[in-house]
Amino acid sequence: MILLKKVSFRYRDSLVLKNCSLRFEMDEMHIIIGPTAAGKTTLALIVANLLKPRSGRIIIPRGNIKDVRKEMGFLFQTPEDLFFNDTVYEEIAYGAKKHHLKHIDGLVSRVLEMVGLNDEILSRPPFTLSEGEKRLVALASIIIWEPSWLILDEPFSGLDWQARKKIVKTIVNLKDNMGIILIAHQMDDIIEYVDLVTLIVDGEIVFTKPSEDVDWDVVFNAGCDIPYATLVSKKLRENGINVPIEYTVPRLIQALKK
């Protein structure tokens, strides 16, 4: 568990986070949403111990935040901009070597399969890959060393549906083995697997709720995208079809069948 208590952060004269209190559990997938410049990425960087809060506390029961930092995998927005190795193999293997793991070739093959890539790309320079392949390689380079926590900052941004589908499949498969924290504007691909939703606006936590309890009108009025199924639910109700406001397509289909 990671517990944030009244955490605040300031960039120069701008107060970016204001008394934020949150709880993250290892067996949950937690998504943080909010409008642009709400403080989402800053909050995630603090959770990962890449930034230190100006006030407040981070509590790790029976542990130390410095030790937890070693267990944090962080997929930055556009992580492909950080590539520096000559081949895909070296890029993926780097994290495993840094953590002094053995049997690197086997680990590389395993994570390639996990993210849905073919080993034929291993000898290619990473900069020659498609945008989707680059994002998947970046994800593979993190999960190869099996962190306890995986934080993903806008992992679906700029990707086609095939790459998004592969990333979602990988994240869902990892859920039982590590804590997952997502920052995402585009929720449709992942929302059905999310346990908790936190809305942050102007650096303040508005709510943290189970996915099925979220008031999506509050999310929409805060300037955020809402799930496609929710939009369709609303349109159906406006046209006289009495269905519940659902947030995933499978749930909406089931409601329509009833």
Q: Find the domain containing 155 and state its range.
A: 2-213
Same structural domain for residues 54 and 17? yes
Burial of 162 (0-12, 13-18, 19+ CB in 10 A): exposed
User: Are 209 and 252 in the same domain?
Assistant: no
pLDDT beneath 70: ranges in the chain: 62-67
DSSP state of 247: S
**How many other C-beta atoms are found inside a 10 Å radius of the C-beta of residue 223?**
11
Split into its structural domains, the chain has a count of 2
Same domain? For 59 and 176 the reply is yes
Claim to verify: residue 144 and residue 246 sit in the same structural domain:
no
Give the CATH number, domain containing residue 75.
3.40.50.300
Residue 80 domain flag: yes
Whether residue 232 sits in one domain with residue 207 = no
**71 vs 32, 92, 142, 145, CA distance in Å?**
20, 17, 11, 9
Which pLDDT value is given to residue 65?
A: 60
